[in-house]
Chain A
Amino acid sequence: MSRIRLAMLLFVASESVFFILLIIAYVVYHATTPSAADAFRYLDVPKTGIFTACLVGSSFTMWRAGIHFRNGARRAALALLFTTLVLGTAFLAGQGVEYVSLIRKNVIISRDLFGTTFFTLTGFHGLHVFIGLTMLGTLFGLELKRGIVDPLRAVDSVSIYWHFVDGVWAVIFPVVYLWILQ
């Protein structure tokens, strides 16, 4: 295992603890406070479902990009990397739209415990998506100009981070959005 890969895995392990505790906080408050019912009224599950599909899809394109890089198919790999970037941006834009519509309905972080836990959890996830997109963008830009000494490793470590960000959402989506469906 390369050093970078190991370092990224360790970092992701550390970040996992951070998110697990945020998710636990969400669940604890959701299960114990009556205000949880509010969630049902304001969240747009199908719409977020679509953006979720974007994010999951971006994990797939990222994985394929890695494979193409390894096989030397650089152009295909770059195209897939770009698709990943677009899909990730779409997810973040979707989150922005969702936030705006919630805030219009006065669902804000200080409204009740749903607001508090919802915005904290999804906000920190969004922040991580943003960081991931910055990494992807840097990777794409540099590789376009052939500015990376060891593109394989760079792609490998960025994709670990990206899969992690997706994986976190794969837990958040059912916990936050599907839980209220019953």
Chain B
Amino acid sequence: MNGGSVPPEKAGTVFQMKEYKGLLSWLSPVDHKQIGIMYFITSLTFFLVAVSLAMIMRTQLIRPNHGWLSSATYNQVFSMHGTTMVFLAVMPMLIAFMIYFTPLMIGARDVAFPRMNALSYWLYLMGGLLLYFSFFTGGALNVGWSAYAPLTETNYTMSKYMIGTGVDYWIVGLLLAGAGTIMNSVNILVTVAALRAPDMKLSRVPLFVWMSAANAVLMLLAMPALNTALVMLFLDRHLNALFFVPAAGGKPLLWQHYFWFFGHPEVYILILPGFGIISEVIPVFSRKPIFGYAFLAIATVAIGFLSFGVWAHHMFATGMNFTVYYVFALASMLIAVPTGIKVFNWIATMWGGSISFDTAMLFAVAFILQFTIGGLTGVAFATVPIDWALTHTYFVVAHFHYTLLGGTLFTVMAGFYYWYPKITGRMLSEKLGKIQFWLMVIGFNGAFFILHFAGLAGMPRRVYTYPDLPHLASINLISSLSAYILALGILVFFANLIVSLRKGKPAGDNPWNGATLEWATSSPPPPRNFERIPPVRSITPLWDLKESGRLPDTLPSSSRERDNE
């Protein structure tokens, strides 16, 4: 069942397709695949910038009393690292997967509103550029990615200690990008609701699509909370409103409530599509349908729903009454239950399957282990006294990098190795992939596991340097050196993306023997996605076809056959 008509050997890469040729085509894209590619490229660029900022931080922290960066510079570096990673790199990278693959996986020709899709992209790009423009205006954001009031008020940011309009650029940049994100959510939800292929019932929709839809609901309802907080802050700064000015009765804690009412769903926004990628990759590389499809779908919805009820666990240190503590601590621990069961679902899928450890699968397995560690420290933090002791230390930094880097970023890597052939028409090099994988696993765990101990030893986060107290020097040295290994792994990844585009093996329609509809068309897919959409009778339509003998089984299915570069 070849969707495209070009035989794989002759297939060019996506950039050689005539529809995507010329500057004009890249300035006026409406095809969800082209916009998806633009999201990929832009978010990867911001990712590289944020990684560079991280390397600057780790270099500054490599030894105690290091006088390389001033505290003022360091404040900007960590604030911009966090903001960029969350809003301009990882979230848009996940959105890129969502808008590229959701229509393909449900057998649609495009998203529901292609031009609104383009608008989302431009808003995201312009928001990101505005944010970075602040570096040229006297200083970027320097109050952390969570921008706690009243530190963001003009009397602090315009004092002799900090000058800068960084906060203003941050507000406007995030408002723009956030508007784009809300449009993304509407687009994805309407696409999934209205454009599914005729026999693609909701009970047959791939899990990636389920999780994208759940994610879209979270973005739809969480982003406006950030927007409310941002406009309140903007009015404080520009019209002298008093929302967060304590002297006039304003409540800085209201900022924290609103920010985290957005912020906690946001961390699920940063992981749910990743869960979706894992739920596609693991069955394909285990040659088994996913275990507990319905449960995974429902658990995702449950997690999404619960995530709106736990925000105050970020505020345990602000002093609240005990009922509030109990409610939020319990609710937070409750989320661990559906999440934990998901982990068992993935393991059960692998159990007894014939697993092939291609790079995508390696990243998926490493994700499960690392995310579990991040999940466990998360449950620890939900315990109020532990939070009191460890909040605002490097234990927090270690915890959320285990979920966001060891978790989400690893799922993204799995996604790239799995889907790059579909997007570009070429395979990524498995050899480079394995080098990258080991560099990243060693580098990441080396850099961040040990930071738990820095936190336990009392090292606060967001400080530009630290005194030579016992253990801190060696912990930070190990962490920084490992971070360089991690960065090297990331560079290998970028090299692979570029080299494979020229030298990679042509992918063919379905190099991994995938089961879902995106593999039923050519790689790269033609502008309208499909010539014919195969019948959908279960969650694995392409495997059904093969079983019924209607799909020529000429596809290589083990990694050894394929890996002869």
List A residues at the B interface (Cβ < 8 Å). 1, 3, 6-7, 10-11, 13-15, 17-18, 21-22, 25, 28-29, 32-33, 35, 109-110, 112-113, 115-117, 119-120, 124
Contact = CB atoms under 8 A, between A and B. Distances in A.
A7 B186 contact: yes
A22 B228 contact: yes
A6 B190 contact: yes
Given A22-B228, A116-B241, 14 more contacts: A6-B193, A7-B186, A7-B190, A10-B185, A10-B220, A17-B221, A18-B224, A25-B228, A25-B232, A35-B249, A109-B241, A113-B248, A115-B241, A120-B232
A14 B242 contact: no
A17 B239 CA distance: 24
B158 interface: no
A18 B227 contact: yes
* Interface-central residue, A17, A109, A120, by most chain B CB under 10 Å: A17
A56 B153 CA distance: 39
Contacts of A33: 249
B224 A14 contact: yes
Given A109-B239, A120-B235, A21 B189 contact: no
Interface in B69-120: 112-113
A112 B228 contact: no
**9 closest Cβ pairs, A-B complex:** A110-B240, A18-B224, A21-B228, A17-B224, A116-B241, A33-B249, A116-B242, A10-B186, A14-B220
The secondary-structure label for the interface of chain B is helix
Interface stretch (B56-64, B250-258, B356-364): B250-258
Nearest to A2: B194
B180 to A, nearest CB: 13
Contacts of A32: 249, 251
Contacts of B517: none
A14 B224 CA distance: 6
A26 to B, nearest CB: 11
A112 B242 contact: yes
18 contacts: A1-B193, A7-B112, A10-B190, A13-B220, A14-B224, A17-B222, A18-B228, A21-B224, A21-B258, A25-B243, A29-B251, A33-B249, A113-B242, A113-B249, A113-B250, A115-B241, A119-B241, A120-B231
B221 A13 contact: yes
Given A6-B193, A21-B228, A21-B258, A14 B221 contact: yes
Contact of A3 (B190, B239, B243): B190
The secondary-structure label for the interface of chain A is helix
A110 B153 CA distance: 14
A112 B248 contact: yes
Contacts of B231: 120, 124
A21 B261 CA distance: 10
A14 B262 CA distance: 12
Contacts of A22: 228
Contacts of B242: 110, 112-113, 115-116
Interface string B213-230: 000000011111101110
B224 A109 contact: no
Contact of B254 (A15, A28, A109): A28
A167 to B, nearest CB: 16
B427 interface: no
Nearest to B308: A17
A124 B241 CA distance: 14
A25 B231 CA distance: 12
B11 to A, nearest CB: 33
Interface in B465-483: none
Contact of B243 (A1, A11, A14, A116): A116
Contacts of B223: 14
A33 B242 CA distance: 12
A28 B250 CA distance: 10
B297 interface: no
B445 to A, nearest CB: 38
A10 B191 CA distance: 12
Contact of B186 (A11, A17, A25, A112): A11
* Interface-central residue, B193, B229, B249, B261, by most chain A CB under 10 Å: B249
Given A14-B224, A110-B240, A116 B112 contact: no
B224 to A, nearest CB: 4
A7 B112 CA distance: 9
A25 B254 contact: yes
B185 A17 contact: no
Nearest to A21: B228
B520 interface: no
A32 to B, nearest CB: 8
B182 interface: yes
B251 A28 contact: yes
A68 to B, nearest CB: 27
B522 to A, nearest CB: 28
Contacts of A7: 112-113, 186-187, 190
A17 B243 CA distance: 18
Contact of A6 (B189, B250, B261): B189
Contacts of A3: 112-113, 190, 194
B240 A109 contact: yes
Contacts of B250: 29, 113, 116
A116 B231 CA distance: 12
B249 A29 contact: yes
* Interface-central residue, A21, A109, A124, by most chain B CB under 10 Å: A21
Contacts of B258: 21
B75 to A, nearest CB: 28
Contact of A11 (B182, B193, B222, B240): B182
A21 B225 contact: yes
* Interface-central residue, B194, B231, B239, by most chain A CB under 10 Å: B239
Contacts of A112: 242, 248-249
